[in-house]
């Protein structure tokens, strides 16, 4: 995919603010700090359109980025961030759940996990939840640049096994630093956004 146009459209706090042109949407979920915003930036070749931070919990709204006038990336708030209150966490949960269950133009959910470590309990619950509701999911194992190439396959296997991944769901090993996995991920996204 040759991205010629990418713009931030809106930070939504509820369905009334979701964009209305009916373009397909690719959402990104994962733990706080796993690299969701960085992945968007890498996919569209922009340094900092999606705001990234070494401080977890930065993205707290649904952020819509319009790509080539063809599709949206929807950056969801990260889960599993310890330093927020329980009520706040529950609110985020409801908010994300509402989007994931009710948004009919959601075509694919990219579930980001940290390639370096086995997926967490939160990651496993998220994957289970998505499959339970038949939401198409692509697992993206990020920060691969931090693992020696000789160990990539071992880590991929660990992610697949810990999530009990279905064979039909794709897994992409990714790095926002090196661009590893970028073309593969674009190909998967295009399969899901073509009409
Ligand atoms: P929240 O918005 O808090 O949910 O976080 P996020 O998932 O959007 O993470 P973000 O993209 O802000 O990245 C968090 C930190 O990880 C930043 O310091 C990034 O530079 C770093 N990071 C993200 N992706 C990669 C990667 O592929 N490789 C390396 N080495 N660092 C990465
Ligand atoms: Mg973010």
Domain with 167 in it: what CATH number? Answer: 3.40.50.300
Is 116 within a domain?
A: yes
Q: Is residue 1 part of a domain?
A: no
Report the pocket of ligand 1 as residue ranges, CB < 6 Å: 30, 32-38, 52-54, 56-59, 78, 142-143, 145-146, 175-177
How far is 145 from 127, CA to CA, in rounded Å?
24
Q: For ligand 1, atom 17, which residue shows the shortest CA distance?
A: 54
Q: Exposed, middle or buried, 142 (CB in 10 Å: 0-12/13-18/19+)?
A: buried
Q: Token digits for 87? A: 């009520």
Query: ipTM of this model?
Result: 0.98
pLDDT in tens, 23-74: 999 999 999 899 999 999 999 988 888 876 666 655 568 999 999 999 999 9
Expressed as residue numbers, the domain containing 34 is 6-193
**54 in any annotated domain:** yes
The answer to whether residue 70 is domain-embedded is: yes
* pLDDT at residue 57 in the model: 58
Domain assignment of residue 126, yes or no: yes
For residue 92, what are its two tokens?
A: 């985020």
Q: Is 34 domain-assigned?
A: yes
Q: Return the number of other C-beta atoms located less than 10 Å from residue 166's C-beta.
A: 10
Instruction: Report yes or no on 115 lying in a domain.
Output: yes
Report the relative pairing of strands 6-12 and 25-30 from DSSP bridges.
unpaired
Q: What's the number of domains the chain is made of?
A: 1
Closest CA to 3 of 64, 69, 49: 69
């Amino acid at each position: 995919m040759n991205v010629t146009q990418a713009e931030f459209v809106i930070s939504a706090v509820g369905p009334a603010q979701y964009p209305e042109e009916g373009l397909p949407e690719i959402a990104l979920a994962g733990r706080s700090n796993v690299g969701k915003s960085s992945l968007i930036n890498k996919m569209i070749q922009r340094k900092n359109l999606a705001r990234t931070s070494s401080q977890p919990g930065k993205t707290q709204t649904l952020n819509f980025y319009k790509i080539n006038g063809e599709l949206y990336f929807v950056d969801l708030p990260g889960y599993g961030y310890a330093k927020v209150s329980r009520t706040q966490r529950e609110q985020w949960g409801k908010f994300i759940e509402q989007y994931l269950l009710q948004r009919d133009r959601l075509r694919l959910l990219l579930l980001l996990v940290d390639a370096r470590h086995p997926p967490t309990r939160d990651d496993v619950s998220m994957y289970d939840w998505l499959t339970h509701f038949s939401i198409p999911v692509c697992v993206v194992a990020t920060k691969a640049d931090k693992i020696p190439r000789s160990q990539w396959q071992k880590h991929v296997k660990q992610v697949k096994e810990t999530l009990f991944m279905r064979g039909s769901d794709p897994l992409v090993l990714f790095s926002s630093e090196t661009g590893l996995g970028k073309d593969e991920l674009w190909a998967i996204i295009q399969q899901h956004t073509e009409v």
